[in-house]
């Protein structure tokens, strides 16, 4: 028994080296680090169920895009959706897998149930609001006794999908931010200090009194960090929790979005968390190996099942709404072709 496990592990690592040449059954993917935990959990469960292994390298969205454009992997993964013209020129199909959220974390020395809005956060990160007892913050938190403490904004120093989602939110909430700073995986931050990774931001916020930072919800939940509530576009105060994330996913305009790049940032839904975003997979529409491509699609088809959803939820990700998953399945069946023949049928 143990021996077969060892054999399996050996096959998996060989598959990684030979990129599926000798072990056609293994799927190779690379890209975004945000969904890496759920992809790896899916891979382990899928391997047990079907015997097909999946090797996912968490090298960052940029790296994932590069590798799939050069076709060195079976699929790429990216947090930010790829631009339409780039998708077209590289002949790629883009589809979402899971949904994640970004939350704001604060350190005021003592526990405060704090409510903020996008405009205030934008001004904090621009160095325009510098004290926690600023009238604008007090107006949203009438019951809390806010200290006369300097605000230290903390951001991700490494370029990341998390920063992209966060700055997209600030751009949507504040026109001033949009014109002065903008949205990208890394921007020229007007104020504050940068720390590497979720753990760096969380550590700096924990160490610095008066600090505010942003991390992925999965990280905040796993480490039980103190998060803030936000006022969403509908003017309602929302808490960062599964319910509000799902409302954001439901409120997104999936029908109108090209290449499934539906924005969930600052949606109009009554109870929607405003900093929510999907993470994407990039799959060649003209795969060199139909068998490999079919295996990859089968994997994601299973990931959309109730079994896959349960694994995602356990890790605090939000599964894709079923209606969207069905749209993605249609796209697989019609758009991914090898020698003019669909590699996968529903």
Partner 1 sequence: MDATLSGRQAGTGLIAARKPTGRVSDPVFVGILWTSGIVVLLLLGLIIAMLFEGGLPAIQEFGLSFIWSTTWNPVTEVFGAGVMVFGTVFSAVIAVIIALPLSFGIAFFLTEIAPGPLRRPIGVAIQLLAAIPSIIYGMWGFFVIVPLMAAYVQPPLIEWLGPLPLIGALFQGPPLGAGMLTAGLIMAIMILPFITAMFVEVLESVPPMIKESAYGVGATTYEVYRNVSVPYGRTAMVGAVMLGLGRALGETMAVTFVIGNATRMSASLFAPGATIASTIANEFPEASTGSLKLQSLLELGFILFVISFIVLALSRLLVRSRLKG
The correct pick among 10, 24, 150, 222 for binding partner 1 (CB under 8 A) is 150
Instruction: List all residues 6 or more positions away from 111 whose beta carbon is below 8 Å from its beta carbon.
Output: 226
Q: Which of 204, 259, 267, 293 binds partner 1 (CB under 8 A)?
A: 204
* Cα four-point dihedral sign 177, 59, 335, 54: negative
Task: Choose between 58 and 267: whose C-beta lies nearer to partner 1.
Answer: 58
Instruction: Tell me how far, at minimum, the Cβ of 195 lies from partner 1, in Å.
Output: 7
Minimum Å gap between C-beta 205 and partner 1 is 12
- Which one among 144, 194, 313, 315 touches partner 1, defined by CB under 8 A? 194
Is 187 an interacting residue with respect to partner 1 (CB under 8 A)? yes
Which residues ranging from 58 to 97 are in contact with partner 1 (CB under 8 A)? 59-63, 65-66, 69
Out of 13, 50, 175, 182, the residue judged to bind partner 1 by CB under 8 A: 182
**DSSP assignment of 220-259:** HHHHT--B-EEE-TTS-EE-SSHHHHHHHHHHS-TTT-GG
- Cα–Cα separations (whole angstroms), residue 90 to 27, 129, 185: 20, 44, 21
Q: Which residue in this structure is represented by tokens 């931010």?
A: 177
Q: Which helix (H) or strand (E) holds 97?
A: strand 92-106
Task: Find the helix or strand (DSSP H, E) in which 94 lies.
Answer: strand 92-106
Q: How far is the CB of 211 from partner 1 (least distance, A)?
A: 9
* Cβ–Cβ < 8 Å for 215, 105: yes
Residue 129 in contact with partner 1, rule: CB under 8 A: no
213: nearest Cα among 88, 124, 286? 124
Would you say 29 or 192 has its CB closer to partner 1?
Answer: 192
Residue 186 makes contact with partner 1 by CB under 8 A: yes
Member of 50, 91, 207, 305 binding partner 1 (CB under 8 A): 207
| Site map 11..50 versus partner 1, x via CB under 8 A | ----------------------------------------
Q: What is the largest CA-CA distance in the chain?
A: 68
Our CB check for partner 1 shows the closer of 54 and 69 to be 69
Binders of partner 1 among residues 282 to 341 (CB under 8 A) are: none
Q: Give per-residue burial for 169-191: e unless 16+ CB within 10 Å, then b.
A: bbbbbbeebbeebebebebebeb
Is 147 one of the binding residues for partner 1 (CB under 8 A)? no
Q: In the set 105, 106, 124, 152, which binds partner 1 (CB under 8 A)?
A: 152
208, with CB counted inside 10 A (0-12, 13-18, 19+), is middle
Q: How far is the CB of 57 from partner 1 (least distance, A)?
A: 12
Among 54, 73, 77, 183, binds partner 1 (CB under 8 A): 183
User: Which bin fits 310, alpha (ψ -120 to 50), beta or left (φ > 0)?
Assistant: alpha
Beta bridge mates, 152: 211
Sign of the four-CA dihedral 263, 178, 189, 121:
negative
Stretch binding partner 1 (CB under 8 A), from 9-17, 150-158, 224-232, 304-312: 150-158
How many chain residues are in contact with partner 1, going by CB under 8 A?
34
Contact range with partner 1 by CB under 8 A, out of 101-109, 151-159, 233-241, 325-333: 151-159
Q: Nearer to partner 1 by C-beta: 65 or 259?
A: 65
Q: How far apart are CA 139 and CA 141, in angstroms?
A: 6
- Rounded Cα–Cα distance for residues 232 and 269 (Å): 8
Cβ closer to partner 1: 181 or 336?
181
**Which residues of this chain interact with partner 1, rule CB under 8 A?**
59-63, 65-66, 69, 150, 152, 157-160, 181-190, 192-196, 200, 203-204, 207-208
């Amino acid at each position: 028994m143990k021996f077969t496990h060892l054999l399996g592990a050996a096959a998996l690592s060989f598959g990684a080296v030979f990129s599926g040449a000798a072990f056609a059954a293994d799927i190779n993917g690379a890209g975004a680090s945000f969904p890496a935990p759920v992809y790896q959990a899916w891979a382990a469960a899928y391997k047990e169920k079907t015997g097909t292994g999946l090797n996912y390298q968490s090298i960052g969205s940029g790296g994932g895009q590069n590798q799939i454009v050069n076709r060195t992997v079976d699929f790429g993964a990216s947090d930010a959706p790829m631009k339409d013209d780039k998708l077209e020129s590289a002949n790629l199909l883009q589809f979402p897998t899971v949904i994640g959220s970004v939350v704001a974390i604060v350190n005021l020395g003592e526990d405060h149930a704090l409510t903020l809005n996008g405009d205030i956060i934008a001004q904090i990160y621009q160095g325009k609001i510098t004290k926690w007892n600023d009238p604008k913050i007090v107006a949203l938190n009438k019951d809390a006794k806010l200290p006369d403490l300097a605000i230290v904004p903390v951001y991700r120093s490494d370029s990341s999908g998390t920063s992209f989602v966060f700055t997209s939110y600030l751009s949507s909430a504040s026109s001033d931010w949009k014109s002065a700073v903008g949205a990208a995986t890394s921007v020229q931050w007007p104020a504050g200090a940068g720390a590497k990774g979720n753990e760096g931001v969380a550590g700096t916020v924990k160490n610095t009194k008066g600090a505010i930072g942003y991390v992925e919800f999965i990280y905040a939940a796993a480490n039980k960090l103190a998060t803030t509530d936000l006022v969403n576009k509908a003017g309602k105060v929302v808490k960062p929790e599964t319910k509000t994330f799902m409302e954001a996913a439901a409120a997104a305009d999936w029908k109108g979005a090209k290449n499934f790049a539906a924005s969930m940032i600052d949606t109009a839904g009554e109870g929607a968390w405003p900093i929510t975003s999907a993470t994407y997979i990039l799959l060649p529409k003209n795969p060199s190996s139909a068998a490999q491509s079919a295996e990859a699609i089968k994997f994601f088809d299973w990931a959309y099942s109730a079994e896959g959803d349960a694994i995602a939820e356990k890790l605090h990700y939000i599964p894709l709404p079923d209606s969207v998953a069905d749209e993605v399945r249609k796209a697989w069946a019609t758009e991914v072709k090898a020698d003019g023949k669909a590699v996968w049928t529903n």
